[in-house]
Chains A and B, each alone.
Chain A
Amino acid sequence: MSSYAWLWVAIVAAGVVSWLTKATGHLVPERWLEHPRVHRIASYMTVALLFALFAVQSFTSGRALAFDARAAAVAVAAVLLWRRAPFIVVVVAAAGVAAALRALGWT
């Protein structure tokens, strides 16, 4: 199968898994999941995965670490988030900083 077809398979599988996860919560007795350890792990899972995605997206290029226009862009994004700017402003500003730096020749 082509990589395009496999991508379709993964998308549909992700959808099925997503729905099953949601549906399971409505069906299982509350006491099955009320262990504090399970709650803590589920809570930190979101933070760990999203921040790992952020780090890889910001500071790697292929399989090498990289420090380029994206680093400046996410620094600006962090300041804007700290100043409580709306999400869309943060995303557009980061794109703008990276695009401008690249137009000036800084990769």
Chain B
Amino acid sequence: MARLTGRSGLSRLSPVRQQALSVSLATGAYGLSLGALAVAAGLDFWQTMALSLIVFSGGSQFAFVGVIGAAGSPWAALGTSALLGVRNGFYGVTLAPILRPMRGWRFVWGSQVTIDESTAVALAQPENDADARRTGFWWTGVGVFVAWNLLVGVGAIAGQYIGEPQAWGLDAAAAAAFLGLVWPRLAPRRAQAVAAAAAVLALALTPVLPAGLPILAAALVAVGAGWGGPPVDLDPTEAPV
């Protein structure tokens, strides 16, 4: 990184733009994994790209692919990905006062790139610097969109040449990817309890429900845990979950 910020490179950009670009590049690694795992789960190249371009929310995409990979129905995959995307709706509420006015194509694109990373970088800028917040949102949103989709494509192409996914341990890679995605959110005690209860419920229901539904059922744990208790903030992380 130090090398990149040398005299002629990133240092010409303002700090918020540098941050946006480094976050965008960092998500590439997740995209690479997603592309390979999607093909291993049974999506073809164009399905993988369509999922990535139009869903464009890392957690929702990993979930969709995970449910399909576990032999779940397309509807269970759709439901799980939709519930994991709920978070983005709340980001829009927080961002709206910063980004207004947005009309036409600007609104279409602004909505599409309302994700963890763009929200995190925008809100990391000083509260009284609306320009930096807007710049952070747009540069990160568009930067992640480009880097993410490019590397999902590379991962999907690589995945097609891999052959038997299990021999390469790709099923274990998918499991590790989910653990890596949720890891930054597991610091609070209550989050750990929610995670444990969700895992126990999903595993207990696996023998009795069709594939995919035990994962969806874990949403009930979130409803139960969130019904009462102290207020929590919806903190975006810079990881695509």
Contact = CB atoms under 8 A, between A and B. Distances in A.
Given A45-B87, A53-B178, A77-B179, A26 B111 contact: yes
A96 B169 contact: yes
B71 A44 contact: no
A48 to B, nearest CB: 4
Interface in A7-64: 7-19, 21-28, 30, 33, 36-37, 39-60, 62-64
Given A14-B78, A26-B95, A45-B87, A39 B173 contact: no
B92 A57 contact: no
Interface residues of B, number: 107
Contacts of B62: 50, 53
A11 B74 CA distance: 8
Given A10-B75, A60-B206, A74 B222 contact: no
B102 interface: yes
Contact of A46 (B53, B84, B110, B190): B84
Interface residues of A, number: 76
Interface string B91-114: 111011101001000010011101
Interface in B75-89: 75, 77-78, 80-89
Interface of B: 29-30, 32-33, 43, 47, 50-51, 53-57, 59-60, 62-64, 66-71, 74-75, 77-78, 80-93, 95-97, 99, 102, 107, 110-112, 114-115, 166-183, 185-186, 190-191, 194-199, 201-203, 206-207, 211, 214-215, 217-219, 221-223, 225-229, 231-235, 239, 241
